[in-house]
């Protein structure tokens, strides 16, 4: 007899962006997780009864110190974690302000132009999310060369 498929781990996150101080283009927030020594977009597991939207907002605030406004829905990402499927729902999100405080889960936050963010991201799936953000019309002030 085959055991039933394990329930997926449900999570949510954002590709967080802001207009840079120069006012030209956008900057992307990347978080560093020392446990994995990787650079990624802010995300995390949903709490029981929590909507994906509420989870995304909470995780961005916890990991970056930024309040944000959800924008366009981005692709949902699926991958295995310790033999269980994980499903992460993403949104584009505009940073509204806040202050980063390093912690044990996230020790660094970088704001980078899209091309530099693409280079810094550890996983291809995160680069695909950046591409999806850049393909949306959501970020105002975006210049055609921002995706390069």
Count how many domains the chain has.
Answer: 1
Core vs surface per residue 3-41: b (16+ CB within 10 A) or e: eeeeeebbbbbbbbbbbeeeeebbbbbbbbbeeeeebbb
Taking the C-alpha atoms of residue 17 and residue 11, their distance in angstroms, rounded to an integer, is: 20
Residue 92 resides in a domain? yes
Provide the residue range defining the domain that includes 20.
9-138
Q: What are phi and psi of 107, to 5 degrees?
A: -105, -10
Residue 1 resides in a domain? no
Residue 147 resides in a domain? no
- Cβ within 8 Å of residue 106, ≥6 positions away: 31, 32, 33, 42, 63, 64
Read off the CATH number of the domain in which 101 is found.
3.90.79.10
Residue 13 resides in a domain? yes
Digitized pLDDT (tens) for each residue of the chain, 148 residues in all = 555 678 999 999 999 999 988 888 999 999 999 999 999 999 999 999 999 999 999 999 999 999 999 999 999 999 999 999 999 999 999 999 999 999 999 999 999 999 999 999 999 999 999 999 999 854 544 443 444 4
Residue 80 resides in a domain? yes
Residue 134 resides in a domain? yes
Residue 96 resides in a domain? yes
Residue 146 resides in a domain? no
What pLDDT, in 10s, does the model give residues 124-139?
A: 999 999 999 999 854 5
- Per-residue model confidence (pLDDT) at position 96: 97
- Kindly give the pairing relationship between strand 43-45 and strand 66-81: unpaired
């Amino acid at each position: 007899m085959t055991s039933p498929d394990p329930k997926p781990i449900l999570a949510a996150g954002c590709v967080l962006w802001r207009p840079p101080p120069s006012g030209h283009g956008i900057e992307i927030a990347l978080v560093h997780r020392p446990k994995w020594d990787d650079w990624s977009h802010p995300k995390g597991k949903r709490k029981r009864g929590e909507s994906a939207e509420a989870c995304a907002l909470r995780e961005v605030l916890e990991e970056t110190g930024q309040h944000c406004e959800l924008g366009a829905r981005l692709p949902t990402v699926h991958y295995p974690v310790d033999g269980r499927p994980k499903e992460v729902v993403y949104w584009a999100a505009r940073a509204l302000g806040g202050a980063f405080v390093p912690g044990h889960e996230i020790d660094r936050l970088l704001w980078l132009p899209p091309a530099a963010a693409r280079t810094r991201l550890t996983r291809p799936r995160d680069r695909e999310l950046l591409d999806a953000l850049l393909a949306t019309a959501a970020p105002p002030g975006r210049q055609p060369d921002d995706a390069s």
